Every structure is written in structure tokens, then in C-alpha cells.
């Protein structure tokens, strides 16, 4: 019979070596707080409950995470990992298996945890251990003559001989709640750090002939913790490497898998190509045959098949229709919808606008709060003046209109279908369909005029 699962996440520690005002577990990895990666791993096991132990930094942590379906347990003062788990005992189901996770070990995989949890029994504790070339700082796994796990000795309490052991405690374990609470009640803080060590329960288990079953992660990065900005940066790279590898496996071309950052979810169709130094945030969908040029930033964007985004474009909160060509140097802001085969060119900013089929805004323009029909051409340097200092107004440009260069369309204003607007016009009333509208001073030639000369 399967027991219910209760997860305990330890996150009360100070994170002194981050040198930060932000609680350590709120520092982002791949655009998301460390602790949210751990909570996601816990969620993937569909546990009966999740308890998070917090303390340092106060209520900032539960507020930032914003999950009231979790049991938030405050540990104050922080007297060690054993003391931390002790705070949760009253919140745990006595008939459950407890899984202990660390808020600062973000890359632990669901598959590894499932394996660990399956090993835990009434008479067996499952312990995740790993062999490290440099075990400095970690608790060492001490085994008996038969190879069974006997106890864990913390680095600061270890003898020179114990310090030579390379198998270390990851801190992650699974065991029955009943056993856990009985052992926690017997912990003492008589050790080098004057702390209640969770790790001391291993010797108690061994003494009671409860089997300690070691289990290992598929890869070392799964169990690496973040104690410093250096380690955070290293884990970020390890994680990005994994994400890039997964994309390559699915058939995406990455010009350099080392120069790509995914800070959210990136979904790619067939034959997608991504050039160097692109950043993807939030949810980004790239359909079949999409090409993304170098140095682009895309956040919450849906890109349809065959679109080409040229270098240095910044696109957020937009939908881009089939076969469109964007950039180089385009900025597309939230609320924008581009229909199929649109062309948005260099130094063009589009905000909260709909641009119809095959319309072109190719150079140096600002289009905001506008509805643009199909096959419209907007000349270089044209601006929709959408803001009167107090309110935003809309501009409507109907199908096949042609707007000359350097126009100002003062909203609210409507340009009729097939209307032509002469270059340099300031248009502050509706322009009728099919006609030429010009609003500029006539060019004048002054015959015989002479330039002034220096006296």
C-alpha cells in the first residue's frame, strides 16, 4: 500500500555568502526564484502536502512565492537543519512518508525524487548521496565494514581520516514521518557548530536496525546547492546547457548552444534556427521554420511559421503572423498583433496595435494604439501621436492607404482606404478614402536671395 507523501522544504538559512538583502532562495535561476524550482519538483510528485520552513528575511519569502496552498512554517531562531525539520512535525501526517528537500538546491529532478521516495519504507530510510572529487564542506557518509551506511559526520566535526571520504550527504532524504519525529525529539546540539543536525538521525536509524538505503542522482548538478553568487552563476550555466541540449535533440538549430538563455518556456517547431545571444522570457512559441537573428530578446511572444526576426530586435507580449519579417533593431511592445507577411523594419516601435496582412512599417516609425489594415505602407519617420498628455487615442488606417515619410497622425484620427498622405504632413482630421491629403507649408523659392557674408 502506498503511503501519502509529505514534502518538507528547508529554506530558513541566512545565505550570508550571497551578500544580498534578498533572501537567498529568492535569487533567480533561469528567471525564476530558486525555491520555485524546488516547489515545482515537489509539485511534480503530487504530494499530500508541502511544508516550507522559512525564517531569515521574514515574511518576504511566503509573500514573494504567493502560494497559500503550502504550509509555511517559521523557524526562529535557526538552530540547524534538525531543528528546522522539527518545526514542521505537527504539520505532517503521521502516516505519511516525509521527503526532505533544500530550497537552495534547485535542479533536483522529479525522476530522482520518485526513485528515492519508492525506497522509503516503515523499516527503511532512503538517503540521496553523491561522490564528489572535492567534498569540502559537505557531510561525509561513513559506512561500516559490510558497506552499509552507519552515520553522517559533518565536515567541521570530521577526523582527518573521515575527511578523506568522497561520498557526501546531499541532504535530501525520504523516511516515514513517525520515525522522523521520534528521532528528531532525541537530537542534541553537542557538536562543532552547536546546531541540531538532521544528519544525526542516520546513526539513530542504523542503531535501531532501520535500513539506510543510499540512492544516487543521475547527474551531480541535480544536487548542487547555491551558497554564493559564483555557485549561482555556475548552476545557471549548467541549467542553460541542459535546456540547449534538449532543444538540439528536438531538432532546433542553435548556432552556439553556449550563447542562449531561456528564462521561461520556449516551444519550437521543426527547423527553427536561433542565432547567438538570444534571450527568451516567459512563454515563447516559435512555429516551423522560424529564424531568430543574433541578440534578440523575446518575452511572451507567439511567432507563426516562417517568420524571420533579424538581429537586435526586442519583442514583448505580441503575436507575429506567418511569413513576417521583423528587424533588425525593431521594438515590438505588448498588445501588438501582426498579421501574416508584415514587414517591420529598423528603429520602428509598435505598441498595442494591430497591423494587417502584408503591411509595411520599414523605417524609424512609432505606431501606438493603432489599427492598420492590409497592404498599408507607412513611410519612414511617421509617428502616431497617440497621447495628448492625459489620454491615449486610437489611429485607424484602412486598407491600402499610403502614408508618406515624416508624417504625424494626431489621434484620434482615421485614414480612409487607399488614401495617400503627402510626406511631412501633420494630420489632425480624418483623411478621406482614395484621396491625397497633404498638410504642409508649400515650398517657396526666393529669386536672387543671397547668403549673408561675414563683415
Question: Which is closer to ligand UD1, CB of 35 or CB of 301?
Answer: 35
Find residue 175's DSSP bridge partners: 98
**Could you tell me if 222 and 108 are in contact, meaning their C-beta atoms sit under 8 angstroms apart?**
yes
Give the separation between CA 420 and CA 403, rounded to whole angstroms.
6
What's the maximum distance between 2 C-alpha atoms anywhere in the chain?
112
Question: Which is closer to ligand UD1, CB of 82 or CB of 379?
Answer: 82
Closest contact distance (angstroms) between CB of 55 and ligand UD1 is 6
DSSP one-letter code for 387: B
Q: List the x/- string, 35-74, binding to ligand UD1 by CB under 6 A.
A: ------------------x---------------------
* Residue 424 backbone phi and psi in degrees, to 5: 75, 15
Q: Does 8 bind ligand UD1 (CB under 6 A)?
A: no
Which 100-119 positions form the footprint of ligand UD1 (CB under 6 A)? 102-104
Binds ligand UD1 by CB under 6 A, chosen from 33, 47, 139, 214: 139
Which 225-284 positions form the footprint of Ca ion (CB under 5 A)? 225
Give the separation between CA 282 and CA 298, rounded to whole angstroms.
9
CB atoms inside a 10 Å sphere around CB 151: 21
Find residue 353's DSSP bridge partners: none
Closest contact distance (angstroms) between CB of 156 and ligand UD1 is 8
Catalytic residue among 155, 314, 363, 393: 363
Active site residue 363: yes
Which 154-173 positions form the footprint of ligand UD1 (CB under 6 A)? 154, 168-171
Give the separation between CA 364 and CA 211, rounded to whole angstroms.
71
Q: Among all chains, which residue has been given the C-alpha cell 515650398?
A: 443
How far out from the chain centre does Cα 379 lie?
Answer: 38
Question: Which is closer to ligand UD1, CB of 103 or CB of 321?
Answer: 103
Q: Does 6 bind ligand UD1 (CB under 6 A)?
A: no
List the one residue out of 309, 282, 305 whose CA is nearest residue 296: 309
Q: Which residue is nearest to Ca ion (CB)?
A: 225
The C-alpha cell at 225 is 546547492
* Residue 305 backbone phi and psi in degrees, to 5: -55, 145
**Stretch of residues binding ligand UD1 (CB under 6 A), selected from 96-104, 291-299, 401-409, 413-421:** 96-104
Q: How many residues bind ligand UD1 (CB under 6 A)?
A: 27
Binds ligand UD1 by CB under 6 A, chosen from 199, 324, 336, 437: 199
Task: Give the SS3 label for residue 298.
Answer: strand
**Stretch of residues binding ligand UD1 (CB under 6 A), selected from 33-41, 81-89, 257-265, 371-379:** 81-89
Which 212-231 positions form the footprint of Ca ion (CB under 5 A)? 225
Q: Does 345 bind ligand UD1 (CB under 6 A)?
A: no
Binds ligand UD1 by CB under 6 A, chosen from 84, 99, 350, 370: 84
Where does residue 1 rank: exposed (0-12), middle (13-18), buried (19+ CB within 10 A)? exposed
Give the separation between CA 327 and CA 345, rounded to whole angstroms.
5
Q: Among all chains, which residue has been given the C-alpha cell 507575429?
A: 320
List the one residue out of 246, 243, 272 whose CA is nearest residue 260: 243
Closest contact distance (angstroms) between CB of 7 and Ca ion is 19
Q: Does 83 bind ligand UD1 (CB under 6 A)?
A: yes
Question: Which is closer to ligand UD1, CB of 192 or CB of 426?
Answer: 192
Any idea which residues carry the catalytic annotation? 363
Question: Which residues in this chain contact ligand UD1 in the complex, by CB under 6 A?
Answer: 10-13, 53, 75, 78-81, 83-84, 102-104, 138-139, 152, 154, 168-171, 197-199, 225
Amino acid at each position: 500500500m502506498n503511503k501519502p507523501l509529505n514534502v518538507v522544504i528547508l529554506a530558513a538559512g541566512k545565505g550570508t555568502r550571497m551578500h544580498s538583502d534578498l533572501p537567498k532562495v529568492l535569487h533567480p535561476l533561469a528567471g525564476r526564484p530558486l525555491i520555485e524550482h524546488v516547489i515545482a519538483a515537489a509539485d511534480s510528485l503530487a504530494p499530500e502536502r508541502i511544508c516550507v520552513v522559512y525564517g531569515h528575511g521574514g515574511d518576504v519569502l511566503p509573500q514573494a512565492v504567493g502560494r497559500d496552498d503550502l504550509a509555511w512554517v517559521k523557524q526562529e531562531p535557526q538552530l540547524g537543519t534538525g531543528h528546522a525539520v522539527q518545526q514542521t512535525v505537527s504539520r505532517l501526517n503521521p502516516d505519511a512518508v516525509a521527503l526532505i528537500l533544500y530550497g537552495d538546491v534547485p535542479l533536483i529532478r522529479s525522476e530522482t525524487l520518485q526513485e528515492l521516495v519508492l525506497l522509503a519504507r516503515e523499516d527503511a530510510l532512503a538517503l540521496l548521496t553523491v561522490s564528489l572529487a572535492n567534498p569540502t564542506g559537505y557531510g561525509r557518509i561513513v559506512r561500516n565494514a559490510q558497506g552499509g551506511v552507519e552515520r553522517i559526520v559533518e565536515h567541521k566535526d570530521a577526523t582527518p581520516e573521515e575527511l578523506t571520504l568522497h561520498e557526501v550527504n546531499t541532504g535530501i532524504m525520504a523516511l516515514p514521518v513517525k520515525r522522523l519525529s521520534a528521532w528528531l525529539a532525541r537530537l542534541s546540539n553537542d557538536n562543532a557548530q552547536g546546531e541540531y543536525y538532521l544528519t544525526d538521525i542516520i546513526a539513530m536509524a542504523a542503531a535501531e536496525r532501520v535500513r539506510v538505503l543510499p540512492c544516487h542522482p543521475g547527474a551531480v548538478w541535480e544536487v548542487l546547492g547555491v551558497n554564493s553568487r559564483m555557485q549561482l552563476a555556475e548552476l545557471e550555466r549548467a541549467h542553460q546547457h541542459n535546456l540547449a541540449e534538449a532543444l538540439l535533440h528536438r531538432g532546433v538549430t542553435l548556432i552556439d548552444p553556449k550563447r542562449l538563455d531561456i528564462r521561461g518556456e520556449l516551444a519550437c517547431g521543426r527547423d527553427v534556427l536561433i542565432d547567438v545571444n538570444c534571450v527568451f522570457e516567459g512563454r515563447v512559441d516559435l512555429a516551423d521554420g522560424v529564424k531568430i537573428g543574433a541578440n534578440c530578446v523575446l518575452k511572451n511572444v507567439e511567432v507563426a511559421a516562417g517568420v524571420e526576426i533579424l538581429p537586435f530586435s526586442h519583442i514583448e507580449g505580441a503575436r507575429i503572423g506567418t511569413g513576417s519579417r521583423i528587424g533588425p533593431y525593431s521594438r515590438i511592445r505588448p498588445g501588438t498583433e501582426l498579421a501574416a507577411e508584415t514587414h517591420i523594419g529598423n528603429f520602428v516601435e509598435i505598441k498595442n496595435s494591430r497591423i494587417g496582412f502584408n503591411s509595411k512599417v520599414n523605417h524609424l516609425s512609432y505606431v501606438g494604439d493603432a489599427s492598420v489594415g492590409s497592404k498599408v505602407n507607412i513611410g519612414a519617420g511617421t509617428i502616431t501621436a497617440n497621447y495628448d498628455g492625459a489620454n491615449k487615442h486610437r489611429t485607424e488606417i484602412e486598407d491600402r492607404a499610403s502614408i508618406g515619410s515624416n508624417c504625424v497622425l494626431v489621434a484620434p484620427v482615421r485614414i480612409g482606404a487607399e488614401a495617400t498622405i503627402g510626406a511631412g504632413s501633420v494630420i489632425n482630421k480624418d483623411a478621406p478614402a482614395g484621396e491625397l491629403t497633404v498638410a504642409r507649408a508649400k515650398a517657396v523659392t526666393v529669386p536672387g536671395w543671397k547668403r549673408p557674408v561675414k563683415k
